[in-house]
């Protein structure tokens, strides 16, 4: 089991992540969002890693409280967060609003691969592999 600590007083559960691409790897700060079906990364981070929208698998649209955002799905060579690495992982790439201090969201597309226990009062996220 891997334990990730977060600030229990914060409005968002922020965790560290890393994304690998043609130009190396980059760190990212992601908000854990169990309401998001997909794991989302900012387009600027993906561009810096050397990926292109032309490498995307599909164009996607996400509805938010402030409207619709268009982006695309892209498979990255590796993605790491919450102590675990997955290869050939699909990310939804979108331009994110400024002011939240995050590079994206860890959504259910990543979380479903694990047993996840959220201990809000303790500021701990406990994650283990399935099976």
Q: What is the rounded distance in angstroms from the CA atom of residue 78 to the CA atom of residue 21?
A: 8
Query: What domain count does the chain have?
Result: 1
Domain with 74, as residue range(s), is 2-129
The model's pTM is 0.91
- DSSP H or E segment with residue 105: strand 104-106
pLDDT tens per residue, the chain (131 residues)?
999 999 999 999 999 999 999 999 999 999 999 999 999 999 999 999 999 999 999 998 877 666 788 899 999 999 999 999 999 999 999 988 777 789 999 999 999 999 999 999 999 999 999 87
Instruction: Please report, for the domain that includes residue 80, its CATH number.
Output: 2.40.70.10
Token pair in block for residue 26: 């980059």
């Amino acid at each position: 089991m891997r334990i990730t600590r977060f600030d229990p007083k914060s409005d968002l559960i922020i965790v560290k992540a890393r994304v690998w691409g043609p130009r190396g790897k980059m760190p990212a700060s992601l908000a854990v969002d169990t309401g998001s079906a997909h794991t989302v990364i900012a387009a600027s981070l993906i561009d810096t890693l050397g990926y292109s929208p032309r490498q995307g698998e599909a164009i996607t649209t996400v509805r938010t409280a402030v409207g619709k955002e268009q982006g695309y799905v892209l498979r990255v060579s590796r993605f790491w967060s919450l102590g675990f690495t997955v290869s050939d992982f699909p990310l939804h790439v979108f331009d994110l609003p400024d002011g939240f201090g995050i590079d994206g969201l860890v959504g259910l597309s990543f979380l479903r691969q694990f047993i996840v226990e959220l201990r809000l009062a303790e500021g701990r996220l406990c994650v283990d592999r399935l099976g």
